Amino acid sequence: MDHRKYRYSHIGIPTTKKLKNEEYLADYDVYHSGYQENEFNIEWMRYGSKCRLPDIVKKLPHVAFEVDDIYKAIKGREVIIEPNSPYEGVIVAFVLVKGAPIEFLQFIKKKKR
């Protein structure tokens, strides 16, 4: 995939502190906040005790990029979180690049009727 097609989305930073305006993703036991509250799209991630995500994602910051085709973006890469949909209209996946977790997001456009 042409790296110029990666569009910066956000940076995710793990935290153990409860923050205001957290949203909870029950399927993942993850709290997140701050994404749209700052000009740099910094998202704070707090992981619950039942979170099954890989430790590297829970311990290291990650950078996230929006892509047009998530399957092309992860092809040939070390996938650490398979494509999944934490919210309606978005597919996410994580890969590991030289020891750093990278998130890809693909937003699904609704078809017009």
pLDDT in tens, 42-77: 999 999 999 999 999 999 999 999 999 999 999 999
The two tokens of residue 12 are: 């995710």
Residue 47 lies in a domain: yes
Residue 37 has pLDDT above 70, yes or no: yes
Residues 103, 75: Cα–Cα separation, whole Å? 13
Overall number of domains in the chain: 1
Residues 90, 104: Cα–Cα separation, whole Å? 10
Q: Is 36 exposed, middle or buried (0-12, 13-18, 19+ CB in 10 A)?
A: exposed
Residue 112 lies in a domain: no
Residue 113 lies in a domain: no
92 band by pLDDT with thresholds 50, 70 and 90:
very high
Is the CB of residue 88 less than 8 Å from the CB of residue 47?
Answer: no
Range of the domain at 15: 3-107
β-pairing, 23-25 vs 7-14, is unpaired
Residue 7 lies in a domain: yes
Average pLDDT across the chain, whole number: 93
Is the CB of residue 72 less than 8 Å from the CB of residue 41?
Answer: no
Residue 82 lies in a domain: yes
Residue 109 has pLDDT above 90, yes or no: no
Residue 9 lies in a domain: yes
Q: What is the pLDDT of residue 36?
A: 80
CATH number at residue 84: 3.10.180.10
Residue 87 lies in a domain: yes
